[in-house]
Structure formats: structure tokens, C-alpha cells
Structure 1
Amino acid sequence: MSLTLDAGPTALQAAESATAAASRAGVLVVDEHDRDRLRDVEALLIAIWGMSPHGAPIPFDLLRSISHAGCNVSAAYSQAGHLCGAAVGIVSPGGRSTYSLIAGVLPGTGDKGVGFALKQHQRAWSLARGIDTMTWTFDPLVSRNARFNLTKLGAHASEYARNFYGEMQDEINANDESDRLVAVWPLSSQRSTDAGLGIQAELELPPAHLAHVLEYGPDSLPVLLESEGTLWCRAPKDIVALRSSNPDAAAQWRVLLREIFESAFASGRRASGVTRGGWYRLAAAGQA
């Protein structure tokens, strides 16, 4: 594959945004190739997701091969030189899209901007190679990640993949089915550029008097609203804890949101952002 570096203005701006994001988070983000440090990346991913019957989330030998192939293993190091986050991406056929396999930060560092710095580094890495789109999948029930992906980064989703990996047995997914939303991140769009600069429009749920309740959730509270042609869908507050404490309720949430998203996407809508309270904005065709 050809991964020629491109010093165009968008790529340069993305590199500046990535550097600024890393500085704000107090980390150094690099493309990691060192064999021993790739072993540390494997250990970090295990610390985040745990081991499954299949082994590490991404084992060392695969990390080594991905790096050797010229694809991306991003690693974030604290000022003391400790590994605190990592992201891994490969390049799709044709070299027009990066597929982000995994991204995570050390437990306890989730609010420090390390994850954002990693994604901005991946964005800059991609644009420098003429790649203008990044895709990945994420659990639609984890509202915190959904907000990060769709609001803070500026990605969107219009594809719902049922049980994408089959039943997962790691510590986070707790034997639930692995439904996923497919995130599409247009790396050179104005929205993504603004997001890289820390400029983003915070979504707000419409006032109650303007919203019509269409459906209630397993907790007996509204889960689907309609307001002025836009649908709003709520994810549970903490699905990871719920999967552990009440697997049946977690499964009810999964089935309900599966139905809502598949129906919305079939009608041409897309998920274009998430509020702080965990409400997805499902915009109709033609809406921003």
C-alpha cells in the first residue's frame, strides 16, 4: 500500500491540533514501533479490557505485525514516561480510510483528555497519508463513549451491526451480545476540524413541552422522544454496571435500542451527537 506523507494545510492543522491536545492532557503521543514497548501496549490493553478465553484484546505479535506493516499503533506516555493510553489502526484497501481497531486509556485517567489526544493523533496520522476518513465500531449502550465519538470528535453513525463480534466474554461486555454502531469520522470536515480545536456545539435535549414521548425504557422513563422532526434516544446511565448487577435488564436495553436504531437508520436518519445526559440525536435526512 502507498502511505505517502502529505504536508497539505489540513494535515498540518491536524498535526497542530494533535500536539495541542496531547499538551493539554499532559502526555506525549507517538507512533510506537519498539518491540518491548509494544509488549507494554499489550499489557495496557489487558489492564483495560481484561483477558478473554481468546487471550489479550490485541496480542503482542499482532501489534508487532501491524506496526511493521506501516499501520498505526499510537501510544500515550505521561510526563514520567509511563504508558497510559494506546490506539491501533489499520488502513482499508485503497488507502482511503483508517479502521481504528481499539483505543483505550489506563483506568483512572479517563477524564484527563488522553483518549482525545490519541484520536487526534490518529486523525493527524491519517491525514498526513492522504486518508480522509476513519471508521470504528462502538457499543451503543455505553453513552459516555458514544458522546465522545459523536459529539466531542465529530463522527456520525448510520449503520447498526447486530452481535458484531458474537457473544463477548471479556470483563466489560460480560457475556452480552455485541451489538455495535459504526462510527464514520470525516477527518477533514469543518466539524472535525473545529472539534480538534476544542470547538464543539454542546447538544441540549429539547424542552419537555416541545417533545413528544414515543416510547418508554426498561426503567419506565422516556427513552424515545420526537421534537420538530428530530428523534432523541436515551442510552442507560451505566450499562457496564447493569450487565454485572442485572443482566436481564441490560439485555432488555440492548433489544430496545437495537429496534430504535435499526428503524431510524432504515428511514434515512443518522446519529449525529449525544447529550451529556446520554440522549442520541437521530437527525433526519437533510438535517445537520
Structure 2
Amino acid sequence: MTDIASAPPTVTLRELSGLPELALTPPLARAVWGETDTPEDPVLLHVLHRAGGLVAGALDAQGQLRAYLVGLPTREAGVQHSHRLGVHPQWRRQGLGERLKAFQRQWCVARGITRVTWTFDPLLLANAHLNVRRLGATVDTYLPDYYGEMAGINAGVPSDRFEAVWVLDGDRAQQGVRELWPAGEALHPLRDELPATVPDAVTVRVPADYSRLRREDLAHARAWRAASGPLFARLFAQGHRLVDVDLPGQRYLLRRSTAG
């Protein structure tokens, strides 16, 4: 896990509080998810912060918000739901997303929260790499069209989502992901069917850049969604979890769950 102290000195990671600071989040949300995005109202975030939720941000030396995260309390004691994590397009590939998740982990552990959940697009390879490979979360739930019809950068395809589960005091989060990948070609959702007898370890191909595919070939992006969704849902129903991501190889590793 990247330590918060490794962040550049020109970026400060901390909780956001007060309406003036929270009012910085809507412009950033629109820069991240598009001008048609509907950001959270700063007053609502103010109430959320007061009620025990987490609103954290990365601010530059001029006090401009460059990334932010929103964590919601849940009905389950010791569980937080991470609703938003966005990094300004000009500040990506600098590790701010991972640093904010590290901040969230420390914040939660200090308050007795041991599990964090969130959703992400099943076909966004880079997001899966951060969530599963870098942070150590796992996925065993597929949520079809979870947010309904969306606008902005998510427009045009069903809003299917994976639900990630991050066990903060687990081995994966504390010691890193150590998975042995099986030999052989990964299943390609557009070409391959799951075998009648599914092995304990399955690898699945995903697009290299689904966001770009959505922009440049919407029909192909929809085909990926339609083919991959039932495949993932079937694997989860048979007890598999997404446990690792091969970023250069553009593939996921799903393994039948074991205890722990």
C-alpha cells in the first residue's frame, strides 16, 4: 500500500469540511464525469461529513481540489460504502486515486471500520487493476444496469457494475495480492462460452481501453457489455471471485472462493 507520506509536497490529502471547501466538488465532478453529470450537493456533503461520513480531497499548493472521495455510512456496523472517487483529467497517472484510497483505509481503521465496498464498471481495466491488484479488493457480485440510464462519459451503454469488497484487515490489503495464474488462453466474451464444467480458476479477456471503445465504436462497446455481463454473473453464481488483474495482458483472474 502506498503510504500517504509519499504524496508530492505540493498535494495535501485530508478531509474536506465546511461549505466553501465542499463547494469545490461539483466543478471537479463535472470535469471528471462530464458536464451533464449530477454532482452531490455541497450541503448534502456537509451533512454527510457531520453525520460520520468521509469526504476527502487532494488539494494542490494553491488550494485547488484535484481529486476527491466520498464514503457513506451503511446499515452494517464496521462497513463503509465508497460512493465517489474522481481525479481531475489533468492530474491522472500520478497515483492520486490510490493515495486517496490509502487515506480512506487509515481513516476507516482508526474508527473501527474494517470493510469498504464500492462499485465500478466491469470493463474498465485500469480501474479493476487499482481496485483488485493494487488495493486487494475482490468482487463476487454483478449489478446489471445499477444506476439506470446515465449521462456524460457513461452514456450509451447499460450501467452494469461490479461490487468491490475491500477487507481492510485482510491479508490482501495488508500484504498484497499473490495469485498463481493458470496456463492457457483467456476466455474471450465475444467468442467463447464457459465450459459445461467450469474450472476453479478462470481467466477472462477484457478490452484494453473500454472508455475509448465507447467513444469510438459504441456498437462494439455494447456488444462487449452484453456478452461479458452474463459470463461474469454465471461465474459469480458458481462461487468464483475476481481476485487479480493482469493489466498488460488485458485479463482478469476469477477463482472459486475459499474461506478467508
TM above 0.5: yes
Instruction: Give the 3-state SS of the residue equivalent to 2:154 in structure 1.
Output: coil
Partner of 1:6: none
Partner of 2:254: 282
Do the aligned residues in 2 keep the contact of 1:243 with 1:250 (CA within 8 Å)? yes
Task: Write the deviation string for residues 6-57 of structure 1: whole angstroms up to 9, x where unpaired.
Answer: xxxxxxxx9xx65335x358521111102111111221111101233xx523
Relative to structure 1, is the Cα distance of residues 216 and 94 closer, same or farther in structure 2, using a 3 angstrom cutoff? closer
Do the aligned residues in 1 keep the contact of 2:241 with 2:256 (CA within 8 Å)? yes
Percent identity (aligned): 31
The more displaced of 143-152 and 276-285 is 276-285
Instruction: Give the 3-state SS of the residue equivalent to 1:154 in structure 2.
Output: coil
1:211 paired with 2:196, answer: no
Partner of 2:160: 179
Distance in 2 separating the partners of 1:70 and 1:249: 43
| Unmatched segments (≥5 aa) in structure 1 | 1-13
Query: Structure 2 residue aligned with 1:141, among 113, 123, 132?
Result: 123
Partner of 2:151: 169
Distance in 1 separating the partners of 2:215 and 2:203: 27
Task: Write the deviation string for residues 64-97 of structure 1: whole angstroms up to 9, x where unpaired.
Answer: 2212222100011124433211000011124310
Distance in 1 separating the partners of 2:207 and 2:222: 11
Query: Structure 2 residue aligned with 1:114, among 88, 92, 96?
Result: 96
Partner of 1:244: 215
TM-score relative to the length of structure 2: 0.89
- Equivalent residue runs for 1:264-279 within 5 Å: 264-276=235-247, 277-279=249-251
C-alpha deviation, 1:282, in angstroms: 0.5
Q: How many residues align?
A: 258
| CA-based RMSD | 2.6
- The letter for the 2-side match of 1:36 is P
- The letter for the 1-side match of 2:164 is A
Partner of 2:111: 129
- The letter for the 2-side match of 1:151 is R
Task: Write the deviation string for residues 219-267 of structure 1: whole angstroms up to 9, x where unpaired.
Answer: x6x7979997410011111111211221111111001110110110111
* Runs of 4 or more consecutive aligned structure 1 residues displaced over 3 Å after TM superposition: 203-206, 215-218, 222-229
Partner of 1:19: 4
Relative to structure 1, is the Cα distance of residues 134 and 90 closer, same or farther in structure 2, using a 3 angstrom cutoff? same
- The letter for the 2-side match of 1:262 is A
Distance in 2 separating the partners of 1:34 and 1:49: 24
Relative to structure 1, is the Cα distance of residues 187 and 116 closer, same or farther in structure 2, using a 3 angstrom cutoff? same
Query: Structure 2 residue aligned with 1:254, among 212, 222, 225?
Result: 225
Do the aligned residues in 2 keep the contact of 1:232 with 1:279 (CA within 8 Å)? yes
Distance in 2 separating the partners of 1:97 and 1:164: 20
- Equivalent residue runs for 1:42-61 within 5 Å: 42-52=26-36, 56-61=38-43
Do the aligned residues in 1 keep the contact of 2:11 with 2:61 (CA within 8 Å)? yes
Relative to structure 1, is the Cα distance of residues 26 and 111 closer, same or farther in structure 2, using a 3 angstrom cutoff? farther
Do the aligned residues in 1 keep the contact of 2:121 with 2:162 (CA within 8 Å)? yes
| Unmatched segments (≥5 aa) in structure 2 | none
Relative to structure 1, is the Cα distance of residues 179 and 19 closer, same or farther in structure 2, using a 3 angstrom cutoff? same
Distance in 1 separating the partners of 2:231 and 2:198: 16
Distance in 2 separating the partners of 1:275 and 1:45: 29
1:96 paired with 2:78, answer: yes
Relative to structure 1, is the Cα distance of residues 101 and 138 closer, same or farther in structure 2, using a 3 angstrom cutoff? same
